[in-house]
A and B are shown apart, each in its own frame.
Chain A
Amino acid sequence: MAAASCTLRSTPLPAAVGSPAARSLLAAPTRPVRANQRCLVAKAQKRELMMWEALREGLDEEMERDPTVCLMGEDVGHYGGSYKVSHGLYKKYGDMRLLDTPICENGFMGMGVGAAMTGLRPIVEGMNMGFLLLAFNQISNNCGMLHYTSGGQFKVPMVIRGPGGVGRQLGAEHSQRLESYFQSIPGVQLVACSTAANSKALLKSAIRSDNPIIFFEHVLLYNVKGEVHGPDYCQCLERAELVREGTDVTIFCYSRMRYVVMQAVAELEKQGYNPEVVDLISLKPFDMETISKSIKKTRKAIIVEECMKTGGIGASLSAVIHESLFNELDHEVLRLSSQDVPTSYAYELEAATIVQPEKVVAAVHKVCGVRVAA
């Protein structure tokens, strides 16, 4: 829980938030526009933000919209968040709404639950998802189960968010994937964002949801740039995203593995393959409509994930696919996960524990057969 994550903050930020250089933008016009102006407006509305800015924008919009929304966590206020997601917001909303907590995860997680039960909509940030291991008591027993054990009397409209995943040589404890530990908790939803666009839109939905949502960000994705939607756009929390339509094989992924897969896909396209890529987004519950539709089409599935092989999201997904889509499969589901080892500090060892694009390419060869490029 020391500020080891400051090594990532040494990456220089682009031009300061709000400066013209940071994004090309024009504010969306409020008056309706004539048809010949519409394409100009559409161009003007295209805004590229980094994921941390997108998350910040989503947070800002929701806090403005609903005064019961508040953020609590370590260094979220004056410091602006370890990954700048709440940068400067305390000046706008004050110290109660951007609450700097002491270092006591279980305590402030429980405080968030109590506040949620009694009418607020808190977002609790884990400075690193791994720190939330200390909050497991409150997340499991109270966040997840309390709506049920109270007979439906109290709801817990919380968002628990933070960065997880393997970074750059952060060591074993700062490189954890908590989605696998949390997935069995009844009563919570698990969502993993992966682009600037879906991070903002999913966060807005998560804040508006009456369910407790555990929202996984990734340490290495905060500077990923992309177009974002406007203030009214919320993305469905239970739906997967079709990243690339294809026919040969379905590759399921989430979070940073989406980019690893797409890197492999660039190579696979050259080799004449046509994979379909599905970003799960909703780690729990699974979007079984998108998943089954895709498998019925391609008849082959590969799961690419960053969590450990044992008991990971892939383990659950593989079981569900085999049970419910057995006759739709031409090949057993391949599961590419991290090795069941603590993440090393040394770069080469760290790289060897997680899935690299070459492994994805090899898996597609295995499932589809080797092809010679036309």
Chain B
Amino acid sequence: MPALCAAPAAPLAATNRMAAPMASSSSRALAGARVCVPQRQQQRRAASMRVAAVASPVKQAAGKPGKAAAISPEEAAMLYSDMYLGREFEDMCAQMYYRGKMFGFVHLYSGQEAVSTGVIKACLRKNDFISSTYRDHVHALSKGVSARKVMAELFGKKTGVSRGQGGSMHMFDREHGLLGGYAFIGEGIPIGLGAAFQVAYSQRVLGNESDDRVSVNFFGDGTCNVGQFYESLNMATLYKLPCIFVVENNKWAIGMNHPRATAPSSVGDNEPWIYKKGPAFGMPGVHVDGMDVMKVREVAMEAVQRARRGEGPTLIEAETYRFRGHSLADPDELRRKEEKDHYAARDPIPQFAKFMVANGLATESDIKALEAKVKEEVEDCVDYAENSPKPDMSQLLENVFADPKGFGIGPDGRYRYENPGFTAGTAEVS
């Protein structure tokens, strides 16, 4: 059986991927999308999945198709800290927003930490690339971007990752391969694809055959109806690029419940499974429980290894949930309490804490120590951001062009950027 299946063949198979769709059926019933008898739903799904499993072009992976390596206590601690940092950081953002320290649109990631940690922290290297959407704070943190600089960016200070010029939705970090933070959903996907193209170019044209960097795109369920998503899936397979597509399906695109915006993906389905769109574009599609960091890690490791081996892209659908509204301005009145409670009970952080203790990876006091350290770090971020200076006026014009000759030649014959007012932000530039 191929390591990554286009669709699970039977609900009773042992691996995580197969089990995941079943877990979500109850959530869907609770979401109020449709009232179905669970058993009938299972039968219908099993039938449709058997049909859908036909067109899988994926060959058996060369070498050992692996389960992810067993986890060491050190790695477990690292993953726990990373998730906890994501949670504490976002909670602090909410506090700071309501205290008037940050403005505009702020989209928090609370609840989805297992995906960011399980993919980025567990599987990626510093020189791999990621691209995200406006819900990018925690992706940045998992990738290794300084939490201080992320908080400073949110406060609009010049010590922020984007010098205060980007804000919550435009986190960039060249050193850590964070390609952005994008406000228009879908527009970051071709960017991540372009980074993967650059890696393939490096291997095939520039002769760096051992260059095995990968590029991972993160986006939501709503994005899966945007044209650029499909255009990118096609090109990723066509050019066999090391590009991984991770859909964080949290069921809601602001107020649009996923099944209300997206048609069923296969004839005979009554659910819009996103992972099934992978095989339609010649790549494996995998569904995973996005509230379980160990499962995400396993699936992601396999996809990343595939890409590193030059076997091309993968589409991962992670079922997850955001505990807060779409943004801090969203009253979040459409989601039902039962749905929220269901996912709160599957909170990835306590789930993983239990896992660590049960498997002897950490004790309760170890965990408390990790948490205390994270809390300290988050407090430190806020201090750093508070005490950082605001951007100078020189920043008004400085970064518009990489080459400031782009502002052209003024009436006096000099390039406008040579005008002393340029650095003061007061020069006339057009």
Q: Which residues of A contact B (CB under 8 A)?
A: 67-68, 70, 94, 96-97, 99, 101-102, 104, 106-120, 137-138, 141-142, 146-157, 186-187, 189, 209-211, 237-239, 282, 284-292, 320, 324
Does the CB pair A292–B411 fall under 8 Å? yes
CB contacts under 8 Å to A, within B218-254, are 227-228, 231-232, 234-235, 238-239
- B172, B238, B401 pick with most chain A CB within 10 angstroms: B401
16 A-B residue pairs with Cβ-Cβ distance under 8 Å, sorted by A, are A70-B205, A107-B190, A110-B228, A111-B190, A114-B195, A114-B215, A147-B400, A149-B165, A150-B166, A151-B164, A154-B179, A155-B402, A187-B406, A210-B402, A211-B403, A287-B409
- B131, B191, B398, B400 pick with most chain A CB within 10 angstroms: B191
**4 additional contacts (CB under 8 A) given A115-B201, A285-B408:** A114-B192, A115-B198, A282-B408, A289-B410
Least CB distance from A314 to B in Å reads: 15
Given A115-B194, A149-B170, A288-B410, A141–B398 Cβ distance below 8 Å?
no
Given A114-B179, A211-B406, A285-B409, A152–B198 Cβ distance below 8 Å?
no
The CA of A99 and the CA of B201, in the complex, are separated in Å by 11
Closest 6 CB pairs of A and B: A114-B194, A110-B190, A285-B408, A107-B231, A151-B163, A150-B172
Does B39 sit at the interface, judged by CB under 8 A?
no
Does the CB pair A106–B163 fall under 8 Å? no
Does B50 sit at the interface, judged by CB under 8 A?
no
Q: Give the residues in chain B near A288, CB-CB below 8 Å.
A: 408-411
Name the residue of chain A whose CB is nearest to the CB of B406: A211
Does the CB pair A324–B411 fall under 8 Å? yes
Number of A-B contacts defined by CB within 8 Å: 195
Does the CB pair B190–A108 fall under 8 Å? yes
Does the CB pair B401–A187 fall under 8 Å? yes
Does the CB pair B415–A102 fall under 8 Å? no
Q: Give the residues in chain B near A149, CB-CB below 8 Å.
A: 162, 165-166, 170, 172, 180-181
Does the CB pair B204–A114 fall under 8 Å? no
Q: Give the residues in chain B near A324, CB-CB below 8 Å.
A: 411
Q: Give the residues in chain B near A68, CB-CB below 8 Å.
A: 206
Taking a contact as CB atoms closer than 8 A, the residue among A104, A117, A152 that contacts B399 in the complex is: A152
Does the CB pair B399–A148 fall under 8 Å? yes
Least CB distance from B391 to A in Å reads: 9
Q: Give the residues in chain A near B165, CB-CB below 8 Å.
A: 148-151
Does the CB pair B161–A117 fall under 8 Å? no
Does B371 sit at the interface, judged by CB under 8 A?
no
Name the residue of chain B whose CB is nearest to the CB of A155: B402
Does the CB pair B402–A137 fall under 8 Å? no
Does the CB pair A153–B173 fall under 8 Å? yes
Does the CB pair B201–A120 fall under 8 Å? yes
Interface residues contributed by chain B, number (CB under 8 Å):
65
Q: Give the residues in chain B near A156, CB-CB below 8 Å.
A: 402
Does the CB pair A114–B166 fall under 8 Å? no
Q: Give the residues in chain A near B201, CB-CB below 8 Å.
A: 70, 96, 115, 120
The CA of A307 and the CA of B142, in the complex, are separated in Å by 49
Does the CB pair A153–B409 fall under 8 Å? no
Does the CB pair B191–A117 fall under 8 Å? yes
The CA of A209 and the CA of B402, in the complex, are separated in Å by 9
Does the CB pair B172–A153 fall under 8 Å? yes
Does the CB pair B173–A238 fall under 8 Å? no
The CA of A104 and the CA of B191, in the complex, are separated in Å by 14
Given A108-B190, A147-B401, A137–B408 Cβ distance below 8 Å?
no
Does B284 sit at the interface, judged by CB under 8 A?
no
Does B342 sit at the interface, judged by CB under 8 A?
no
Given A107-B231, A117-B195, A289–B162 Cβ distance below 8 Å?
no
Does B373 sit at the interface, judged by CB under 8 A?
no
CB contacts under 8 Å to A, within B167-192, are 170, 172-174, 179-184, 187, 189-192
Does the CB pair B166–A137 fall under 8 Å? no
Name the residue of chain A whose CB is nearest to the CB of B405: A238
Q: Give the residues in chain A near B170, CB-CB below 8 Å.
A: 149-150
Q: Give the residues in chain B near A282, CB-CB below 8 Å.
A: 408
Q: Give the residues in chain A near B79, CB-CB below 8 Å.
A: none
Taking a contact as CB atoms closer than 8 A, the residue among B180, B192, B206 that contacts A146 in the complex is: B180
Least CB distance from A43 to B in Å reads: 34
Does the CB pair B402–A115 fall under 8 Å? no
Given A106-B228, A110-B194, A151-B160, A209–B403 Cβ distance below 8 Å?
yes
Does the CB pair A118–B198 fall under 8 Å? yes
Does B74 sit at the interface, judged by CB under 8 A?
no
Given A155-B402, A210-B402, A114–B191 Cβ distance below 8 Å?
yes
Given A138-B187, A149-B172, A154-B172, A189–B231 Cβ distance below 8 Å?
no
CB contacts under 8 Å to A, within B334-369, are none
Name the residue of chain A whose CB is nearest to the CB of B238: A102
Does the CB pair A187–B161 fall under 8 Å? no
The CA of A60 and the CA of B398, in the complex, are separated in Å by 33
Does the CB pair A152–B190 fall under 8 Å? no
Does the CB pair A289–B409 fall under 8 Å? yes
- A97, A115, A147 pick with most chain B CB within 10 angstroms: A115
The CA of A190 and the CA of B283, in the complex, are separated in Å by 39
Does the CB pair A110–B410 fall under 8 Å? no
Given A116-B194, A151-B162, A108–B235 Cβ distance below 8 Å?
yes
The CA of A118 and the CA of B202, in the complex, are separated in Å by 11
Does B103 sit at the interface, judged by CB under 8 A?
no
Least CB distance from B102 to A in Å reads: 16
Least CB distance from B401 to A in Å reads: 5
Name the residue of chain B whose CB is nearest to the CB of A115: B194
The interface bits of chain B over 375-416 (1 if a CB of A lies within 8 angstroms of the residue's CB, else 0) are 000000000000000000000001111110111111111011
Least CB distance from A153 to B in Å reads: 4
